[in-house]
Amino acid sequence: MIIQAKKIFFLGIKGVAMTNLAVIFKKLGKDVTGSDLSEEFITDSILRNFGITFQLDFDPKKLPNNIDLVVYSAAHQGDRNPQVIEAKKRGIKIRSQAEILGELIKKFNLKVAVCGSHGKTTTSSLLSYALIKLGAKPSYLVGAPMFNSYPGGDFNSRDYFVIEADEYGVNPPYDLTPKFHYLNPDYILCTNIDYDHPDVYPNLEVTRKAFLKFFDKKKLILCLDDKPIVQSINRLESKQIVTYGFNKLADLRILTYQHKQSGSEFHLALNKKSLGTFQIGLFGEKNISNTAGAILTLLQLGFSGKEIKKAIRNFTGAKRRFELINEEKGTYLYDDYAHHPNEIAATINAAKSHFPKHRIVIIFQPHTYSRTQALLNEFARSLSLADKVFVLPIFASARENPKNFKIDSRDIANLNPERITYAKTKRSLLELLSSNLYSQDVIFTMGAGNVYKLKNDIIEIISKK
């Protein structure tokens, strides 16, 4: 069906995964267009660079007449969107993003999926980057607009396809099928299993079962430092499992590590045989672990340790993942996508290890009411690892009605008012920052919403210090 479709319309085309998917189909020779909101997104420039046009609303009357296929995601009402309804009336084929990805990767010779509640974007980006540097000409789709200087989605050949495999539902609340259940990869690299997406999963055990179903009879590369993974290994039918991590029982073990000015250096051993020292332009234990997972995957694909060392050395991370935005006279501004308590803790700990003599300041925008309500205490604990935190109003999902929740960002601040301050508006936040930021601070905008758009205002405040 993908081969036959010549003109494809992506609904919500500015979403990161949708933009990356549109780029791939554009490079496959398809006529690609779509629709989205008029608000500027982080992906606008990518769409422009690839010559992909789009409408600025979801008016069903504007749905093109000559399209063969409409692709929708969980955003913008999913298959309840007016343009999808119009497409149904016209008899146009309609598929979810998850279905299209499942069909797409069938066309590639070797398929590697990277999953995990946290770290999958960095890990899949690193794996794609390494394969590029190794001359393997991979095609790939990750959950970031860019990594290093490469787009987050690309088609280069049919030899390899690396895909970030998302455990979120196809179209909540109507279709809670985990998106990665549509994928049938040859290898699965899993960084961890954690409770997230309370609008899809009621608890950790249901989340774990979704991962185990995805793992079924695949070649697995698993992190042996993750408790839910360790507890699940004996329940797996697959006999082709290799492991990595700091754990002494891991097949690929991280023996030692240290942080340098430009990243991290660590020593690995495979089956107790030293592979030597590796370097990467990333910080923190979690990123070292993620890098080890990518290295073990590359070893499974037949690349040598010597080749891999050279290939990964200059990787600096995916966009919005510990991304340096500005440095001025020893004061740093970073942006990070962390939106779950464990991700927040990992980012703050990485910052503290890299900047042990600096104050860590977080400007956090919670993402979704359901997640904030389910993990309220955990958010307060993780954020409290920083020296000072400013928390913004919740960035709601288009799939939830704020009136259905008795929660707001003040509830996070109230759990630790000495360290966490609520800022109701952008104006109040900037006033607080003007009087509370100091020279040599390390500042993060953090969250999965649009908090990154504050960067210019924050840079202006920093310049006056």
* pLDDT band for position 52 (cuts 50, 70, 90): very high
Position 404 scores a pLDDT of: 86
Q: DSSP character for 229?
A: H
Distances from the Cα of 304 to the Cα of 138, 157, 242, 280, angstroms: 17, 22, 17, 17
> What are 251-271's pLDDT values in tens digits?
999 999 998 888 899 999 999
> So what's the pLDDT on residue 464?
83
Query: Which residues does 356 contact at the CB level (< 8 Å), separation at least 6?
Result: none
Q: Is the pLDDT of residue 3 over 70?
A: no
Question: What's the average model confidence in pLDDT over 136-145?
Answer: 96
Q: pTM of the predicted model, to two decimals? A: 0.92
Mean pLDDT of all residues belonging to the chain = 94
pLDDT in tens, 198-242: 999 999 999 999 999 999 989 999 999 999 999 998 888 767 999
Question: Residue 213: in which H helix or E strand, if any?
Answer: helix 204-215
Cross-strand partners of 327:
332
Query: Do the beta carbons of residue 326 and residue 332 sit within 8 Å?
Result: yes
- At residue 287, φ and ψ (nearest 5 deg) are -70, -30
Can you state the percent helix, strand and coil of the chain, rounding each to 5? Answer: 35, 25, 40
* pLDDT (average), residues 296-318: 96
- Coil, helix or strand at residue 48: helix
CATH of domain 7-96: 3.40.50.720
| Residue range(s) occupied by CATH 3.40.50.720 in the chain | 7-96
pLDDT score of 1 more than 60: no
Q: Where in the chain are all domains bearing CATH 3.90.190.20?
A: 323-463
Which pLDDT tens digit goes with each residue over 71-104? 999 999 899 999 999 999 999 999 999 999 999 9
Q: Where in the chain is the domain with CATH 3.40.1190.10?
A: 108-312
Position 151 scores a pLDDT of 95
Other Cβ atoms less than 10 A from the Cβ of 227: the count is: 10
On the CB side of 154, CA atoms within 13 Å amount to: 21
108-312: CATH architecture:
3-Layer(aba) Sandwich (3.40)
Residue whose entry in the numeric block shows the structure tokens 């697959």: 238
Start-to-end CA span in the chain (Å): 58
Distances (CA, A) of 54 to 10, 160, 286: 9, 30, 38
Digit-coded pLDDT (tens) for 4-21:
799 999 999 999 999 999
Q: 8: burial class by Cβ within 10 Å (0-12, 13-18, 19+)?
A: buried
Residue 227's φ and ψ, nearest 5 degrees, are: -60, -50
Within 13 Å, how many C-alpha atoms sit on residue 133's CB side? 21
Domain 323-463 matching CATH 3.30.300.30: the answer reads: no
